Amino acid sequence: MLQFLLRRTFGAVVILLLLSAFTFFVFFGAGDPAAMSCGKNCTADNIALIHQNLGLDKPLTTQFWDFLVGIFAGRDYSIGHCSAPCFGYSFATKQDVWSTLIDRLPTTASLAVGGAAVFLTVGLGTGLIAAYKRGSFLDKALTSISMVLSSAQIYILGPIALGLFVYSGLMESPRYVPITSDPGGWFMGLLLPWVVMATIFTAQYTRMSRSTMIEQLQEEHVRTAKAKGMSSRYVFLRYAWRGSLIPIVTILGMDLSSLFGGAMITEFTFQLAGVGRLAIDSVITLDLPMVMGVLVFSAALILVFNIIVDATYAFIDPRVRLS
């Protein structure tokens, strides 16, 4: 297991390095970042000053090396010292990129973790019930509802939910409140986005958990357990349920990484100031250091989640060998 984790970590670092190099040379080599950040009324002297302050007067390869070194060792700019991990300063706000990312992360993390808790609980629960009651009216009803909801999108359900609950006065507008200062405000502020996310993702997990459970119930070791006289409920939960978790964990890992890495549509729909909303605003304002920081940060999260998902396989199913 340790060798597997080390090998996957090394591969993730290589991928992250290549991705960083590609995006850096595309972003900073396609034009003059100083001119982009300076605005329409900028003078040549102002552009030269920005070059000097942000180190843009150096060769592009030197700039990339300084960018990498800054992530691990910090970096000195003419406008101040940027502590590690340093992704530079925002063109738009003049703030440290890393500090901005960390400030926005709790909103995205709360949105992703809370939403995942809701759609996992409801989705897996209804999927198990549908599989256990296979062929019944309840199974057909749950399957039909999940098929209808699977075609829904956040940018459709989000405005509908806002109109029904927020604009009618039944609920306050979604907002992020730190859980440490007001747990009740945190819960109520994100309840509507969680419900909308759960409505969409629940359908996917209901169908997936139902189908994988039915497949597992046909496996030889499950039939053998039944033949030994074990109760159907015990076999259902002890053997079939465990085996059905592997594809669910795979999809959950990808969903969580995408939610953590962006959640752009959800945050934009509900006007939540998370990492996804930060990415959109940075692209609109051509804030290249912030775009670069969001991209590298999001890619690192996705790679970490992929490693965790792969390692979880061995814990869920001992038949999996991570050699």
Domains of the chain: 102-318 (1.10.3720.10)
Q: Which helix (H) or strand (E) holds 77?
A: strand 75-77
Q: In angstroms, rounded to a whole number, what is the distance separating the alpha carbons of residues 165 and 191?
A: 11
- What's the confidence (pLDDT) of residue 27? 82
| Range of weakest confidence among 165-169, 194-198, 214-218 | 214-218
For residue 96 the two structure tokens come to 């440290």
Q: Partners of 75 in the beta sheet?
A: 82
- What's the confidence (pLDDT) of residue 321? 54
For the chain, the maximum distance between any two Cα atoms, rounded to a whole number of angstroms, is 85
Could you count the other beta carbons within 10 Å of the beta carbon of residue 38? Answer: 17
Rounded to a whole number of angstroms, the CA Rg of the chain reads: 24
Question: Based on the number of CB atoms within 10 Å of its own CB, is 24 exposed (0-12), middle (13-18) or buried (19 or more)?
Answer: buried
Tens of pLDDT, residues 238-289: 777 777 777 777 777 777 766 665 567 788 888 888 888 888 888 888 888 8
Residue keyed to tokens 């925002």: 90
Which one-letter amino acid corresponds to residue 146?
Answer: S
Q: Is 80 helix (H, G, I), strand (E, B) or coil?
A: strand
For helices 288-316 and 97-132, angle between their N-to-C axes, nearest 10 degrees: 40
| Range of weakest confidence among 39-48, 52-61, 252-261 | 252-261
Whether the predicted pLDDT of 195 surpasses 70: yes
Tens of pLDDT, residues 99-138: 999 999 899 889 888 888 888 888 888 888 888 888 888 8
